[in-house]
């Protein structure tokens, strides 16, 4: 198994040497050999083809975002056909998310997407959902140290079902799982009063 730094280096060299957003077939093969699993190729094989004998899914999904400086007051990020204005002004901007707020928004979006994914499976009925997040940043070295969240669900489901929804949202969230490995991520899911 290759160290993560080797994978990052290989990925950086691929993006630096290629105008394409996805790795070349040769680079993809090298990465697969280093990490010991096969990278996902859309619509190439059935999902069961990516299961290890122990039943774990070995697919690696890939995402691409590009960002550019517009001027001293802001930047923009692009993914697919979407454009997001980013607050990179040293004085701050009221009309755009700064990097810390983007991180919080990413966690919230992950949780909301998780709700959309699990509610049909759980046959969970809800009228609405709101998520509030609060991040704490230290100055030296600069980094986020904790994120607290509050999920408020407008639903008539039982308390047990609300707990089940919360458990599933936390267990299967790509971004929330990644963030929880790096800092203290804690919160509650409650019923709207």
Domain containing 176 — which CATH number? 3.30.300.20
Q: Are 122 and 153 spatial neighbours (Cβ–Cβ below 8 Å)?
A: no
β-pair type (74-79, 66-71)? antiparallel
- Token digits for 62? 């890939």
What's the CA dihedral at 78, 7, 24, 81 to 10 degrees? -10
Number of structural domains (the chain) is 3
Residue 16, pLDDT score: 42
Q: Are 151 and 108 spatial neighbours (Cβ–Cβ below 8 Å)?
A: no
DSSP state of 57: B
3-state secondary structure 92-137: CCCCCECHHHHHHHHHHHHHHHHHHHHHHHHCCCCCEEEEEEEEEE
Q: Are 131 and 111 spatial neighbours (Cβ–Cβ below 8 Å)?
A: yes
* 133 and 187 share one domain: yes
* 129 and 88 share one domain: no
Residues with pLDDT less than 50, the chain = 1-21, 43-45
**Residues of the domain holding 104:** 99-191
* 137 and 77 share one domain: no
Neighbours of 60 (CB within 10 A): 13
* 25 and 103 share one domain: no
* 130 and 172 share one domain: yes
Question: Does 109 fall in a domain?
Answer: yes
Task: Give the CB-side neighbour count of residue 90, counting CA atoms within 13 A.
Answer: 1
* 111 and 156 share one domain: yes
* 105 and 22 share one domain: no
* 143 and 69 share one domain: no
* 105 and 161 share one domain: yes
Q: How far apart are CA 111 and CA 51, in angstroms?
A: 25
Question: Does 161 fall in a domain?
Answer: yes
Residue 25, pLDDT score: 64
Question: Does 58 fall in a domain?
Answer: no
Question: Does 56 fall in a domain?
Answer: no
* 88 and 166 share one domain: no
Residue 168, pLDDT score: 95
Length of the chain: 193
Residue 60, pLDDT score: 82
Question: Does 26 fall in a domain?
Answer: yes
């Amino acid at each position: 198994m290759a160290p993560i730094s080797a994978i990052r280096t290989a990925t950086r060299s691929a993006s630096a040497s290629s105008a394409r957003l996805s790795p070349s077939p040769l680079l993809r093969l090298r990465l697969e050999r280093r990490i010991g699993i096969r990278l996902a190729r859309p619509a190439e094989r059935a999902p069961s083809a990516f299961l290890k004998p122990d039943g774990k899914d070995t697919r690696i999904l890939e995402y691409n975002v590009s960002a550019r400086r517009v001027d001293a007051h802001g930047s923009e990020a692009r993914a697919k056909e979407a454009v997001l204005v980013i607050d990179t002004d040293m004085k701050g901007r009221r009309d755009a998310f700064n990097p810390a707020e983007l991180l919080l928004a990413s966690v919230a979006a992950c949780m909301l997407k998780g709700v959309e994914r699990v509610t049909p499976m759980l046959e969970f009925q809800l009228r609405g959902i709101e998520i509030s997040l609060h991040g704490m940043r230290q100055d030296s070295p600069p980094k986020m140290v904790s994120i607290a969240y509050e999920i408020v669900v407008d639903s008539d489901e039982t308390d047990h079902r609300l707990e089940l929804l919360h458990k599933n949202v936390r267990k299967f969230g790509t971004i929330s799982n990644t963030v929880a490995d790096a800092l203290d991520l804690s919160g509650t899911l409650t019923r709207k009063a």
